[in-house]
Every structure is written in C-alpha cells, then in structure tokens.
A and B are shown apart, each in its own frame.
Chain A
Amino acid sequence: MNTLFKIAARNVLRNKRRTAITGIVMMFGIGLYIYADSILKGMDRMTIDNMVNYTESFLKVRTPEYVSNLQGNPLDYGIPDPEGTIRTILAADPAVKAAAPRTRFVARLSNYEDEIPVLAAAVDPVRDGQVFRLADVVTRGVWLDKAEPRSVVIGADLAEELGLDLGDYILVSASTVYENVNADEYKIAGLLATPDPSLNKSALFMAYPDADELLGLDGLVTEIAVAGRAYPALDALLSGADGAAASVSKALPGLKADPIRVLAQDYLAMREMKGKFSSMIILIMLVIAGVGIVNTILMAVYARIREIGVLRAYGMTAKEIKRLFTLEGLIVGAVGSFAGVLLGVAIVAITSTYGLSFEKLVGDVDMGGIPIMGRLYGEWNFGNMVFGFLFGLFVSFISARIPAKRAAKMQVTDALRFV
C-alpha cells in the first residue's frame, strides 16, 4: 500500500499542471459552496433576527380565534386578562426575557390631500422597547416613550411618499371596536428606517392611550409579543423559541403561543428552496470537477499504459491497478477539497467579520417583503465544511473509478505493446 501510495502521489505531483487545473476546479467548487452556504445562512440569520427584532418577536401569544381570523387584523378575539397573561408568560420559561402587549389594526393615513392604507399597532412604548428594537431605528425624532401624547411614529418611506416630515400633523382613520369609523389628528414624533422595507413603507405605531381613544379598545390586546434570550446560532434560536412556546402554551391553556418558526413559516419554506439551490451549486461545480478528475485520471491512464503492463506482468492484479488509479484520483480530490475548504474558511472568516452590504450586493431591490436590509454577515457552518470536503472526496472517488476500471481491464500484452 505504501508503494502504491508513493506511485500515486508522485504521479499526481509529476503532472503538476493537470493536477493543478483539476484541484483548482475542486477548490473553487467547494469554496464557492461553503461561501454560498455561509451567505445563505447569514441571510437566514439576518432575516429571522430582523423578524424577531422588528416585526414578529421570539414568540407571540394570541387567542386561537384571532389566529384563525388574522386577515384584516380584526379588533376581536382579544386576550383575556393581558397583564395576568404577561406575568404567566414571564414565569413560564427561563428563555423568556420580556413581553409586551400589542393591538394591530388597519388604518388609513392622510396628509389631507392623499390617503394611504397602513398597518398600525397600538403599543406600550416602554415594554415594546424591551421586546422590539424599533426605538434603535428611529432615524429622526423619537420613539413613542419620549413623545408627547397624540403622537405617532411612522415608516420613513411612508412619510416620504406622502410628503410628510417630522412634526407634521396627519389624519389617522380606522374602524373602531364598535365597527364604526373614527378619525383623529396626530403629530409625527419619529420616522423609522428598519431593515424591513414593509415597515418603512406602511407602518404606524401609536401608544395605547391614543389608540384607546381612536378605536375604543378599552384594554383590548390582540397579541403579546415575547422577547427571548440571545442565541449564537439560528438553529438554536429556532429550537429555543419552540421550547419556550411549548412551555408558554402549557402555562396558558386556551391561548396559542406561536414560536418564530411558525411566525416565519413562509420565509422558512422559501429557505428550504434556497437550500436546494445551494445544493444545486455544489452539484454543478462538483460535476465539473468530477469531469476534470475523470479527464485527469484518463490522461494518466493513457500516459502510463506500458507502466500498467509492467505492473501486471510483475503480478499486480487488475484490482490493485484499479486501486492505484483510484488512489491518484482521491489524492487530487483530497488536495482540491482541502484547498476548497481553506478557501471557504477564508471567505467565511472575512464575511463573518466584516460583513457585506446587502444593498451593494443585490442593489436596492424589494425582496418580496422579506426583512433583509443592512449588513449581511456570513455564518459559520463547520458541519457543512466537513460535508463539502467529504463530498469532494466522494466525487473524486466515483470519478476516478471510471478510468481506473478501464486501466484494470487493459490486456497485459496490449499494454506492453502500446507505444
């Protein structure tokens, strides 16, 4: 085996250019795969983090009836005893860190000339700030906790569309709990620029006292948004939310606690598709690399037909000849795959440290409502790096077997006669 390996390794080194070309294709294939996977995982992390921090939260508690009638954000099916419910939630699971009531409603916002429908939410500004990070993305003005009464915070793009600015007055109209329409005037206290374009284009937030007056809520809370502890990895975050939601559901019979995995199910379904796309990338790259290996080993077989004859003449079996050429393919594959992993590690190290500007990466495009804006950081996925390496080895093994079989089948006399 030692001499077989020696012959294989030295032949690989002897044909440097051929080996280098195949190795480089493998390296780029696997490196690109690791990079793509890291970026896709980074996008996942960014998207889910943005959902947790700006729109959906770690987990959400609602009544089952409200969840069944989500369309139109009805002002029905409120949570009974919201404050008691919040206390129960906070005690239900150690992963739960904060909880805040919210009441969503559909409103129309007018600058007295034009009118735009908006998705509005009545919030408790202080407790909402403990669950969401909206206060951090108020680019101009202040969040509701520091605003005067009868103020609202709206998306910056929405303000721009209606030609509104900080301090301007707007007219907000909406259906009340009594199903009549009410309208009132509010001052713009803050403008939001979140990583979620849909919030920037159509969100309006007002404090509960003002919402009570406008909608006649009388303490109606349609959902309780819950913040969880920090998780280093996306999968841990999703599992942590699942566990916490299960604990909360158990503690609150009659209410429905949905973790972020359920709240972001549309995105996560799309993520599965992205996973398939990423697999396609590696498949295409590795098929190219595999063809390279077939070619490299086939060239090696043709260049060394007489050598095969000599080895057979001296008693080497067809199986050992096959093993020799397979070993050569595996060496090329192992070197290429290892280099690919190193390349992938280097790229992931850079992207996970410095990040990439998502806008620069894809331009200013609407990602179909996916909250993905800002700096995109690559995610480490060591399991995938090992997979990339092993898959590279597997591809090289399979690819090398084809010409290796041909070498093994060669007649000794034909091989010795070959010029």
Chain B
Amino acid sequence: MAILHLEKIRKVYKKGENEVVALRGVDLDIEKGEYLAVVGPSGSGKTTLLNILGCLDVPTSGRVVYDGRELRALGEKELSEYRKMHVSFIFQSYNLIPVLTVAENVELPLVIERKKNGAQARAKALELLSAVGLSGMENRYPRELSGGQEQRVAIARALVKDPIVVLADEPTANLDSHTALEIVDLMKRINAERKTTFIFSTHDKLVMDHARRIVTLRDGEITGDERR
C-alpha cells in the first residue's frame, strides 16, 4: 500500500486578478522507502507538489492520503502534528537556525516534538551527526560551517525524529558538484539503511541519476514516471 496517495490534486494561486494553476490534477502513489526525484523546468509545480506532500500547503481540490488517512480533512493543529511526527524537510538554503549550535539545530525537531528529554535528544543528535560525518562539530554555529556541512546538519536535523518521509526541495542546488555528490550519496545511504522515504525536487542531473524513480512535471501535470 502507498504511504502517500495523491488523487486529482489541483492547486490554483491567485495573483491579483489572475489565477495561476500550479498543479492540474496530479495523481501519484509513493511507496514507503522510495528514493524519488521530482524533476521538471522552473514553474512546473515541483515545489508546490512537495509543499502539498508535506502539508505546508493545501490543494485547491483533490485528495492527499497519508498512510490511509485523508489529510485534507485535518485542521491547522492536526497538520502541525502531522508535520511534527511524520515528515521532515531539507531546504535548498539549509535554513539552519543561526543562533543555535549544530547540535541544538539537530535537536530542534525533537524539542518541538517534546517526546524526548534533553539528554535523550542530545544523544540522538550526536548519533545523527556521526551518521552524517560531523562528529566533533556539535558545538559550532552554522556560520562556522561550509555549505556542504550546513546541508549535512540539515539532513541530520531532518532524520533526528526518524520520519517516515523526508522532503527535500533542491537540496544540492547551492552546492558544488563534488559536495552535491557527497550529499546525494549520504541521502541514498540513509534511504538504504533506514528505509526512510526520500522525495526531492531537483534540476541536477547528478541527483537524477541516483534516483530510483523519477517523476517529471511539466506545466503542473505529470508527464513522466520512470522507475529504475
């Protein structure tokens, strides 16, 4: 059974008098443990699709079903709860909290989740930092890290609460090709080891080449769905 089921998803934005259709009836099933790339040109609806999958945005029409549960029916608090418990995000610009140390940034989802005490959260954060190759850097601040290191911290932050789904919007767009490859390898390794579902949007050929499934979007419609 699909962990995420999208049915006739349509998203329309209003810009003044005009309407911009970002998604035009998207149907998509994503299995648990997939390593899926959403590709397409700018404005094709990749980010909108990821936002809807992560419950950061609501579709204008259509159904989003997570693990058999209809998400459209959820209120603001329940959607926050869904994000808190089941999904994590990796952003193009890393978006670490500058006033928190590396370890505190990684702990943040656990603090928001409030399921672990301070010591447990720290232990889990250090474990994840070790997994992404940043042992010994826990007390540094984001400004003291390179772009690649920042994105590793962001990955550790995304994984710390053992999410079912990780959504990554252009995770390598701000990195050089060597660092981008390291990040892709890291995500792929975690996907293989932890069976975490990775869904990422990308323009990057390198990232696409590593994906096991590529969904192509064009003008808000799925024009290709290739499994490898």
The answer to whether A7 and B97 touch across the interface, beta carbons within 8 angstroms, is yes
Q: Are B80 and A10 in contact (CB under 8 A)?
A: no
Q: How far is the CA of A313 from the CA of B79 in the complex (A)?
A: 10
Q: Which residues of B contact A416 (CB under 8 A)?
A: 56, 91, 95
- Chain B's nearest CB lies how many Å from the CB of A306? 6
- Check if A3 sits within 8 Å of B108, measured CB to CB: yes
B111:A315 contact, CB within 8 angstroms: no
A3 touches B107 (CB 8 A): yes
Q: Number of residue pairs across A and B with beta carbons under 8 Å?
A: 68
Q: Do A413 and B83 touch across chains, with their CB atoms under 8 A apart?
A: no
Mask for A1-22, Cβ within 8 A of B = 1, else 0?
Answer: 0110011001100100000000
Bound CA span A413–B76, Å? 14
* Contact between A315 and B85, CB atoms less than 8 A apart: yes
Contact A315 B97, CB 8 Å, known A2-B118, A412-B56: no
B113 at the interface (CB under 8 A from A): yes
B54/A313 in contact, CB under 8 A: yes
B-contact bits for A397-418, CB 8 A (1 contact / 0 none) = 0000000000000001100100
A315 and B99 form a contact (CB under 8 A):
no
Whether A14 and B80, one on each chain, are in contact in the complex, defined by CB atoms closer than 8 angstroms, is no
Judge whether B218 is part of the interface by a CB distance below 8 angstroms.
no
Give the shortest distance, in Å, between B118 (CB) and chain A (any CB): 7
Closest to B77 in A: A317
For residue A168, CB closer than 8 A to chain B, the reply is no
Q: Per-residue CB proximity of A312-338 to B under 8 Å, as 1/0?
A: 111111101000000000000000000
Closest CB of chain A to B116's CB: distance in Å? 12
A349 at the interface (CB under 8 A from B): no
CB of A311 within 8 Å of the partner chain = yes
Chain A residues positioned under 8 Å from B54 (CB to CB): 313
Would you give the 0/1 interface string for B27-65, flagging 1 where the beta carbon is closer than 8 Å to chain A?
000000000000000000000000100101100000000
Q: What does DSSP make chain A's interface, helix, strand, loop or mixed?
A: helix
A312 to B113: give the CA distance in the assembly, Å: 12
**CB of B22 to closest CB in A, whole Å:** 11
Among the listed B80, B85, B88, B98, which residue makes an inter-chain contact with A316, where contact means beta carbons less than 8 Å apart?
Answer: B80
Q: Taking each of A7, A10, A315, which has the highest tally of chain B beta carbons within 10 Å of its own beta carbon?
A: A315
Docked CA distance A10–B98 (Å): 9
| Contact in complex: B76, A318 (CB < 8 Å) | yes
Query: Can you name the residue of chain B whose Cβ is closest to the Cβ of A10?
Result: B99
Q: Is the CB of B112 within 8 A of A311?
A: yes
Chain B hits for A3, CB < 8 A: 100, 104, 107-108, 111
- Pair A316/B89 contact, Cβ less than 8 Å: no
Nearest 8 Cβ contacts at the A-B interface: A315-B84, A10-B99, A3-B111, A315-B83, A310-B95, A412-B56, A313-B89, A314-B109
Q: Which residues of A contact B (CB under 8 A)?
A: 2-3, 6-7, 10-11, 14, 306-307, 309-318, 320, 412-413, 416
Q: Residues on B close to A: CB < 8 A?
A: 51, 54, 56-57, 76-77, 80-81, 83-85, 88-89, 91, 93, 95, 97-100, 104, 107-109, 111-113, 118
